[in-house]
Amino acid sequence: MTKLEYTFKNDVLFKMVFRQYQNLLKRLVSLILGIRLEDITEFVITNPEITPEVIGEKFCRLDINMTVNGQRVDLEIQVADEGDYPARSLYYWAREYSSALGEGGEYKDLPRTIVISIVAFTMFPCGEYYSEYQLLEVTRHTPLTDKQALYFFELPKLPEVVSAEDELKLWLTLFNAETEEDLAKLEALEVSVMKEAIGAYRHVSATDEFKEIERLRSRARHNEASALGHARREGRAEGEQAEREKWQGVVAEKDALIAELQARLAGGQ
């Protein structure tokens, strides 16, 4: 097996491919949203650039924000399971939804807002790789509004064999690919859009722009890890100091009590 140096789960590569090949992104989004490609009349990436300032910041994340037929759509790819992703995805949705209300705007005009999360870990105790969440009444299961939706695609749950006719699963399988052999299996299906997507992946991953951004991102991750490590060490040091001071106080009280008892004994002799 020849392991890929970079995969689609690299968020820099993910965003750069779809920024440069917007026809592929549009096709993917049409599949996920269930809109025929020819029926998409508005398709705009609202955050197309990856600026050095953003990449250089610690704790940064990359996503793709879009406007699709009046809807706000946020596409995320998440590799690490940090135990808080459901809450984070809801926060992403709330941020996108609330930011759509301009000064003097009316709540009724807020757009339908969708967060699409492609995750490289298992989130939910079910066999299905796809889950959709909305605000529903808990007993009648009626929706409160159609303005909120969270879509999750769990890559570890994908079937090993995917039909050439199931284009969405082909995309997800591509995102999950780890080796050259994985790419070769997809290419062997002779699906034109997969060949185009793999070609786009190979082109972008070989560019100097990607390599430089990835270098900066790698440095940002290193700085983030160093900052977190320093904070943990500082916290541990503070905790150890507090513990030492606590026991020093106990020993001092004990010494004072012993000295008092010795003084009384000496006075009674």
- For 29-37, which contacts have Cβ atoms below 8 Å and span 24 or more sequence positions? 29/66, 29/68, 29/73, 29/75, 31/167, 31/168, 31/171, 32/116, 32/151, 32/168, 33/68, 33/71, 33/73, 33/114, 35/68, 35/69
Q: pLDDT by residue (tens digit) across 131-190? A: 999 999 999 999 999 999 999 999 999 999 999 999 999 999 999 999 999 999 999 999
Tell me the pLDDT band of 216, cut-offs 50, 70 and 90: confident
Give pTM, 2 decimals. Answer: 0.81
Q: pLDDT digits over 64-111, tens only?
A: 999 999 999 999 999 999 899 999 999 999 999 999 998 788 999 999
Q: For residue 4, what pLDDT is reported? A: 96
Structure tokens at 215: 């270098």
The pair of three-digit structure tokens given for residue 185, joined into one six-digit string: 């299996």
Closest by CA to 75, choosing from 171, 166, 164, 219, is 171
Residues 50-84 as b/e (b if ≥16 CB within 10 A, e otherwise) read: beeebbeeeeeebbbbbebeebbbbbbbbeeeeee
**Total length of the chain:** 269
Residue 224: closest CA among 4, 22, 68, 55? 55
* Residues β-bridged to residue 116: 75, 151
Instruction: Note the pLDDT of residue 16.
Output: 94
**How high is the pLDDT of residue 58?**
47
31: confidence class by pLDDT, cuts 50, 70, 90 = very high
Res. 250: pLDDT tops 70: no
Question: Regarding predicted confidence, which is higher, 82 or 267?
Answer: 82
pLDDT: is 86 or 240 the higher one?
86
Evaluate whether 10 touches 194 at the Cβ level (below 8 Å).
Answer: no
